[in-house]
Amino acid sequence: MENIGTLTRNDNGTVTGFVAETHYDFEIALGRANIERENAPDFRLITKSPRGRDVPIGYLWQHKGRESGETYFGGYIRSSQSGFVRLRLYRSRELSNVWDVLRKDDQDRRRSRSGDATLPEPAAPKRQRKAKTPAEAPATAPAGEELQAA
């Protein structure tokens, strides 16, 4: 997982921060999702449009770690450049009011299932074609009889 941002709980109780990669850079705020259905997200991630309007760009669900019991959040943001970007938010080890935003990719899922991280095997070298000798070369059309475009 790669750290792509942070969220901070401010003194007034709001949660703000950023999420950034090469394709996007969002200033974000956290708000309650207020969706009444089973498995609904707990929070929504909001950014501002160029005209200053609130635009939801993603959602978060609250989870508890199986072994540690620590609270973390899982969810996603939508970006027109990157599509759905899966996220995990973990509390910072240094500051209790800061959450680190990590990009979760499919490699992380595969690695956690196998238990051991392994590097991919290098690609097999490409076979070189044997150069044709003049005796094996195909005959060419006589001069003046080149193919003509229709």
pLDDT tens column, 80-95: 777 888 999 999 989 9
Asked whether 29 and 46 are in contact (CB, 8 A), the reply is yes
pLDDT tens digit sequence for 74-83: 999 987 777 8
Question: Considering the domain boundaries, does residue 119 fall inside one?
Answer: no
In a domain, 10, yes or no: yes
Q: Is residue 46 part of a domain?
A: yes
* Rounded Cα gap, residues 6 and 91, in angstroms: 10
Q: Tell me what the pLDDT averaged over the chain comes to.
A: 80
Domain residues for 7?
Answer: 2-114
Task: Please state, in angstroms and rounded to a whole number, the distance separating the CA atoms of residues 150 and 132.
Answer: 32
Give how many domains the chain has, as a whole number.
Answer: 1
In a domain, 24, yes or no: yes
In a domain, residue 21? The reply is yes
- The tens digit of pLDDT for each residue in 14-29 reads 999 999 988 889 999 9
Residue 124, domain member (yes or no): no
The total of other beta-carbon atoms located within 10 Å of residue 91's CB is 15
Whether 108 is in a domain gets the answer yes
Specify if 128 maps to a domain.
no
pLDDT given at position 19: 93
pTM exceeds 0.75:
no
Q: What percent of the chain is predicted at pLDDT more than 90? A: 42
